Amino acid sequence: MKPETQAIRIQTEQTSQKEHSTPLYLTSSFTFDDAEQMRAAFADESDDNIYSRFSNPNSQELIDKMCALEGAADGYVTASGMSAVFASFMALLKSGDHILSSGSVFGSTHTVIAKFLPRWGITHTYADMNKPEEWERLIQKNTKMIFVETPSNPGLDIIDLAWLGTLAKKHSVILNVDNCFATPALQTPIAWGADLVTHSATKYIDGQGRVLGGIVVGRKDLIQEIYTFCRSTGPALSPFNAWVLSKSLETLSLRMEKHSENALKLAERLQHNKELDWLKYPMLPSHPQFEIAKKQMRMGGGVITFQLKGGIERGRKFLNALKMASLTANLGDTRTIATHPASTTHAKLTDAERMATGITPGLVRISVGLENSTDILADIEQAIHHSK
């Protein structure tokens, strides 16, 4: 079956009630028929559920679907996207290790890498996604992992995953790719050589701004280490959220097609607006990595970014002038969302840190929703005009 079919047809085994839709398993623990069955479960000699912090039928269904979509051997789901990213670091890195990361990363990911990992003796180096020729020399003898977002949040930088996968294997380094912006509907990093793929399921996987969730899938041996770490430290996804996210995957392919279609229309129109210094969207020929995007992405996704003339103050005025688009920190919703990172999501970074991660003063991120494209365009254009 094709991945989009598997996202619909993979389900937890029916109960005696013969339900058509998977039920909710709202239980903290599971019972056993006898002492031997319980012993075997705790000894990892069976797949029986023990405790919902370890596993739950709703979580397993979500894992099975995501593995099918990403082409992964195994996976684990967590309470948020950041707990998935953090678990993928802490389960596999130790004191004395080094992580090479793309400089263009989400603000909270930057905080983990630059401020928290050093507390455990884990060092890092940031690499410029626009200068791939420099990456190999930045790999150190103690480099254990390469971490990238592609497309990046919010700068939409893109890196050649086939090239990066080859580089990681050459140096026996784990390649960990944040696939949040593209989702497996548009891009499958494992096919290009990634060992791990992480997601904030809060975004496009849910798609309607309802629940938090995180996902990490990949090589079975690596996932086992992540599972062991999470089983003890407890960043488990709730059964209810897992149920919501599993149902959401049934429409992921359709939603990403519409998000991408609307975003491309908006980008093609706005790229000529004289109030913008520049605009970036993966499937515009003007994007610096346009050819790479065409090779490894099926469509461009639902996010566009542009630089407003006038800096931070112009960015604030733009947000205040919007009439339809929502002002919120989320993205990947059915509803169009506008964010000004320099004054919101990345406001706690220093000016130097923001510039290093591609956050210019007037940068605006638009998460293009599923509304009629003419309505989205009208709101963005009038806000640009009234923010002068």
DSSP code string of 223-245: HHHHHHHHHHH--BPPHHHHHHH
Residue 154, pLDDT above cutoff 90? no
81 and 16 in a single domain? The answer is yes
204 and 263 in a single domain? The answer is no
CATH number at residue 64: 3.40.640.10
pLDDT at 107: 82
204 and 265 in a single domain? The answer is no
Confidence bin at 257 (pLDDT 50/70/90): very high
Q: How many angstroms separate the CA atoms of 151 and 333, rounded?
A: 17
Q: How many angstroms separate the CA atoms of 151 and 59, rounded?
A: 27
pLDDT at 353: 75
Phi, psi of 359 (to 5 degrees): -95, 95
17 and 116 in a single domain? The answer is yes
pLDDT at 212: 98
Which tens digits make up the pLDDT trace of 48-103?
A: 999 999 999 999 999 999 999 999 999 999 999 999 999 999 999 999 999 999 99
146 and 291 in a single domain? The answer is no
Q: Which of 248, 252, 303, 311 is nearest to 276 (CA)?
A: 311
259 and 176 in a single domain? The answer is no
Q: How many angstroms separate the CA atoms of 259 and 336, rounded?
A: 10
Token pair belonging to 267: 């980008």
Q: Which amino acid is at 83?
A: S
Confidence bin at 362 (pLDDT 50/70/90): confident
Residue 349, pLDDT above cutoff 80? no
Confidence bin at 268 (pLDDT 50/70/90): very high
Domain extent at residue 159: 3-251
Once rounded to an integer, what is the mean pLDDT over residues 252-261? Answer: 98
110 and 165 in a single domain? The answer is yes
Confidence bin at 145 (pLDDT 50/70/90): very high
Domain boundary, last residue among 228, 251, 274:
251
CATH number at residue 350: 3.90.1150.10
246 and 257 in a single domain? The answer is no
3-class state of residue 380 by DSSP: helix
pLDDT at 351: 77
Pairing of strands 143-149, 98-102: parallel
pLDDT at 87: 98
> Rounded to two decimals, what is the model's pTM?
0.94
Averaged confidence pLDDT in the chain:
95
pLDDT at 280: 97
- Tell me how many domains the chain contains: 2
313 and 225 in a single domain? The answer is no
For residue 23, the 8-state DSSP code is P
